[in-house]
Amino acid sequence: MTYLSEYDYYANGGVAPTDSKWGDYQYVGLEDVVRNYKLMYTGNTSLVNNVEDFKILFHAKRAIQELNYDAFKEVKTMELEVADSLRFVLPMDYVNYVRISLVKGGILYPLQQNTQLLNATSYLQAGDGTLNVDATTGLTEEASELELAGGVKLFQSGKGSDAIYSNKHPQFTIDKARGVINFTSAMNGETCLVEYISDGMEGGDNSLIQVNKMFEEYLYAYITYAILDSKLGVQEYVVRRALKKKSSLLRNARIRISDIHPGRLLQQIRAMGNTIK
């Protein structure tokens, strides 16, 4: 585990930019995780031995990915102007969105996802309706009518107008297959802010991948379980014990970083008792 002096943390040792270490102390880097695991959990007297570095690295990265999918509440943001295409390309480390908003006059207006907005792939056709296909490139795609309109709504006969779809603000739909967010035409030229959960892989740069220190022991337990589970000749009870330890450490770490702090909980309970006038 890497420790920093106060001078290194607050002033980056006097090297610009002086704010580059702020917040780093609560994290441990992937490279440190791999190095520590090799030192503390492998060897002739350990359950895990004769394991290649690349396997440890693989399982460590997989554990961090799963934590980002399932446990972390840390959010990244991306801001762009929506062009005439009414598209916003999803960040490459995107897992799921937290909130998508219109930014106007310094105010965020959260947008509603319209699950009735449809998107489709359109293919170029000849005059007789046959598809334009090339021996090398295959079918030729073109912008669909749905795409140009920012998606279209399903007609719902006799159901009336749902409040979510009559929202005065622009709406969006996510096309994960194409890696884009499609907006209705009212979003054209507007600024969009996407808050999203990342996969934590930092574009494949291992030196930038890190995890909250509260999950460090869980990472080691995850790596141990993954290696034992895939190794021949390991007794089943040993694998089960490793799985139980991994699950227990994950549960404990989740509780530690949760927002359910006694002081905050007391404030919420008191607020619930206030009379709304």
Domain membership of residue 69 as a residue range: 26-73+201-257
- Do residues 111 and 150 touch, judged by C-beta distance below 8 A? no
Question: Are 185 and 111 part of one and the same domain?
Answer: yes
97 part of a folded domain? yes
Of 71, 38, 60, residue with least CA distance to 210: 60
- Give the pLDDT band (50/70/90) at residue 276: very low
Compare 220 and 23 and report the one with higher pLDDT.
Answer: 220
262 part of a folded domain? no
The residues pairing with 172 across neighbouring beta strands, listed in sequence order, are 113, 183
Question: Which residues have CB under 8 Å from 69's CB, separation 6+?
Answer: 95, 197, 199
* SS3 of residue 106 by DSSP: coil
Question: Are 190 and 96 part of one and the same domain?
Answer: yes
pLDDT digits (tens, 9 = 90+) for 169-186: 688 989 888 899 989 888
- Give the pLDDT band (50/70/90) at residue 152: very low
Q: How many domains does the chain have?
A: 2
Question: Are 188 and 148 part of one and the same domain?
Answer: yes
pLDDT digits (tens, 9 = 90+) for 36-75: 999 999 988 888 988 999 999 999 999 999 888 877 767 8
Question: Are 63 and 159 part of one and the same domain?
Answer: no
Stretch 3-8: mean pLDDT, rounded?
82
For residue 158, pLDDT beyond 60: no
Question: Are 88 and 171 part of one and the same domain?
Answer: yes
Question: Are 170 and 193 part of one and the same domain?
Answer: yes
pLDDT attached to residue 268: 59
* Other CB atoms within 10 Å distance of the CB of residue 228: 18
Strand 133-134 to 171-175 pairing? unpaired
Domain boundary among 178, 198, 218: 198
Question: Are 227 and 248 part of one and the same domain?
Answer: yes
Mean pLDDT of the chain: 82
Question: Are 130 and 188 part of one and the same domain?
Answer: yes
For residue 151, pLDDT beyond 70: no
- Do residues 200 and 211 touch, judged by C-beta distance below 8 A? yes
Dihedral sign of CA atoms 101, 102, 107, 109 in order:
negative
Question: Are 141 and 245 part of one and the same domain?
Answer: no
31 part of a folded domain? yes
Integer CA distances (angstroms), 28 to 36, 187, 209, in order: 11, 40, 9
